């Protein structure tokens, strides 16, 4: 288990204990204030009739809110004001939620007791949650400073670069280095040292082809990829400087969305895909019958695509071509493609063939909005002309994105590169509002029947 995962679990555990403690104290307050009546029920002692149910649901609700706030996403990037503000807003949402779901139904003498209960719950939630978080952060920073807690790092570059960075970056435990032509050994090194970050330190005159080739090879290991600041010009628009303290590095693996938006996006993906799979179940049955009756072969077509971190996964689609249509080698679809079945043409026109990918979204292979995933065969061809394709590996591919909307079906390599450029623009400007706009445009495309 990596140090990052351990730190996340520590925060989750203390947040869980804090929320339990908050609820018990709040019930004790309510019992004392109402002279033995908790939530409208006469009782002399706690627990009340709904004590145990609330004792389970309240902490779970707190953890959900904390996850959506993005607090757990970067457990080592401590910022006092940011941590307090996130905890403050979370406490407001949690206390108001509990108030309107539970307390509002209580039979109290006057509204002053309502307001007092809400205030007490908010203060308890904020105080008892933030103090452990603050202490954990202080202890963590102290352990890092003393060298008792290290984030193991590998340098990809020369021995000289390794020695220089090891002296400059005291907050990182740089365990070893790999020559660029030995980056395939990263798997063994990661297993041995539990590597969490890779610093690529190459000469300024290194070609983009070499640089992006290294990035592409490192992405599948799901580690933070950073560069010394002097390499930043080679990646204009692809990296962000997050700290100006004692770490002169830039990274390309961090999202351009806020932490809370990242978590909300993933939560929405899971909720929306699960809901659609349930609601569209009858449609799935009808389309499956149509595909099966129309031509021989499996109903669901599986195809290897490259997704998050450059890792392959099986994308699911309703089969729209005759069986063994690509028996010899991959071939792009063209207008009036003879390989497409009668039902397949209709499915593609309204993009219904992609409905099974909702399962890919639910499983975490894809997102609702994100660059369309491509096959390794065509990625290799794209990289020859656009070596920066690997930058897309830091986000989940999606059912739809700005690229497919603007370009449509890609039946040529040039269109693939054009779509890539739109997807890079999307990636650099990611937001929940932009996702909403893309979804609206996608719905319009579907109803217009503009699919191929």
pLDDT, one tens digit per residue, over 331-357 is 777 777 788 889 988 898 888 999 999
Give the number of residues written for the chain. 452
How far apart are the C-alpha atoms of 373 and 410, rounded to whole Å?
12
Q: What are phi and psi of 421, to 5 degrees?
A: -65, -40
- DSSP string covering 134-175, please? HHHHHHHHHHHHHTSS--EEEEEE-HHHHHHHHHH-TTSEEE
User: Which residue did the predictor score with more confidence, 178 or 46?
Assistant: 178
In this structure, the number of other CB atoms found within 10 A of the CB of residue 180 comes to: 16
In this structure, the number of other CB atoms found within 10 A of the CB of residue 326 comes to: 10
- DSSP string covering 235-272, please? GTTT-B----SS--EEESSS-SS-HHHHHHHHHHHHHH
How far apart are the C-alpha atoms of 403 and 230, rounded to whole Å?
31
- Which pLDDT score is estimated for 75? 87
User: Which residue did the predictor score with more confidence, 256 or 272?
Assistant: 272
Average pLDDT rounded to a whole number, residues 138-146: 84
In this structure, the number of other CB atoms found within 10 A of the CB of residue 165 comes to: 20
- Which pLDDT score is estimated for 92? 95
- Which pLDDT score is estimated for 237? 47
Q: What is the mean pLDDT of the chain?
A: 84
Please report, for the chain, the start and end positions of each structural domain, with discontinuous segments joined by +: 3-146, 152-251, 259-448
* Banded pLDDT at 147 (limits 50, 70, 90): confident
Q: Which residue, among 316, 388, 325, has the nearest Cα to 353 in the 3D structure?
A: 316
Q: Does residue 253 have a pLDDT over 60?
A: yes
Q: Does residue 46 have a pLDDT over 60?
A: no
- Which pLDDT score is estimated for 269? 97
* Banded pLDDT at 184 (limits 50, 70, 90): confident
How far apart are the C-alpha atoms of 303 and 374, rounded to whole Å?
10
How far apart are the C-alpha atoms of 421 and 86, rounded to whole Å?
34
Q: pLDDT above 70 covers what percent of the chain?
A: 88
Greatest mean pLDDT among 157-161, 193-197, 316-320 lies in 316-320
The yes or no reply on domain 152-251 and CATH 3.90.79 is: no
User: Which residue did the predictor score with more confidence, 313 or 181?
Assistant: 313
CA angle 406, 407, 413 (to 5 degrees): 150
Q: Are 133 and 91 in contact (CB under 8 A)?
A: no
pLDDT tens sequence across 405-418: 888 777 788 889 99
- Which pLDDT score is estimated for 299? 93
- Which pLDDT score is estimated for 404? 81
* Banded pLDDT at 103 (limits 50, 70, 90): low
* Banded pLDDT at 35 (limits 50, 70, 90): low
- Which pLDDT score is estimated for 49? 46
Q: Which residues of 296-310 are buried (b: 16+ CB within 10 A; e: fewer)?
A: eeeeebeeebbbbbb
* Banded pLDDT at 44 (limits 50, 70, 90): very low
Average pLDDT rounded to a whole number, residues 150-168: 87
């Amino acid at each position: 288990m990596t140090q990052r995962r351990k730190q996340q679990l520590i925060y989750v555990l203390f947040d869980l204990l804090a929320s339990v403690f908050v609820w018990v104290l709040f019930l004790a307050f309510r019992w004392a204030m109402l002279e033995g009546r908790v939530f409208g029920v006469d009782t002399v002692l706690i627990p009340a009739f709904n004590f145990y149910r609330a004792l389970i649901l309240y902490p779970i609700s707190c953890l959900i809110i904390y996850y959506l706030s993005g607090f757990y996403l970067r457990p080592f990037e401590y910022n006092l004001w940011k941590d307090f503000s996130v905890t403050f807003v979370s406490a407001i949402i949690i206390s108001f939620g509990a108030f309107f779901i539970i307390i509002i139904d209580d039979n109290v003498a006057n509204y002053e007791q309502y307001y007092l209960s809400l205030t007490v719950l908010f203060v308890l939630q904020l105080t008892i949650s933030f103090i452990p978080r603050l202490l954990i952060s202080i202890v963590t920073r102290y352990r890092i400073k003393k060298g008792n807690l290290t984030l193991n790092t590998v340098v990809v570059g020369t021995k000289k670069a390794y020695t220089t960075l090891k002296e400059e970056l005291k907050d990182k435990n740089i365990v070893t280095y790999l020559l660029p032509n030995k980056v395939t050994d990263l798997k063994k090194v990661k297993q041995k040292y539990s590597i969490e970050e890779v610093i690529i330190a190459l000469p300024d005159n290194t070609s983009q082809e070499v640089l992006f080739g290294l990035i592409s090879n490192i992405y599948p290991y799901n580690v933070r990829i950073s560069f010394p600041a002097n390499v930043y010009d080679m990646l204009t628009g692809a990296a962000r400087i997050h700290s100006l303290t004692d770490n002169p590095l830039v990274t390309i693996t961090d999202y351009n969305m806020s932490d809370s938006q990242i978590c909300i996006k993933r939560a929405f993906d899971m909720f929306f895909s699960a809901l659609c799979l349930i609601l569209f179940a009858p449609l799935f049955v009808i389309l499956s019958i149509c595909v099966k009756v129309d031509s021989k072969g499996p109903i669901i077509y599986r195809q290897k695509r490259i997704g998050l971190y450059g890792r392959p996964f099986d994308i699911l689609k309703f089969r729209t071509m005759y069986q063994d249509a690509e028996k010899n080698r991959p071939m792009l679809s063209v207008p009036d493609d003879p390989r497409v079945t009668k039902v397949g043409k209709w499915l593609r026109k309204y993009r219904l063939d992609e409905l099974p990918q909702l399962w890919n979204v639910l499983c975490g292979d894809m997102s609702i909005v994100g660059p369309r995933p491509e096959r390794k065969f065509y990625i290799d061809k794209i990289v020859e002309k656009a070596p920066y394709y690997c930058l897309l590996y830091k986000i989940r591919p999606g059912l739809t994105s700005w690229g497919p909307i603007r370009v449509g079906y890609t039946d040529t390599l040039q269109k693939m590169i054009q779509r890539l450029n739109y997807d890079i623009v999307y990636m650099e400007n990611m937001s929940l509002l932009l996702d909403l706009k893309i979804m609206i445009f996608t719905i319009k495309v579907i109803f217009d029947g503009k699919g191929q």
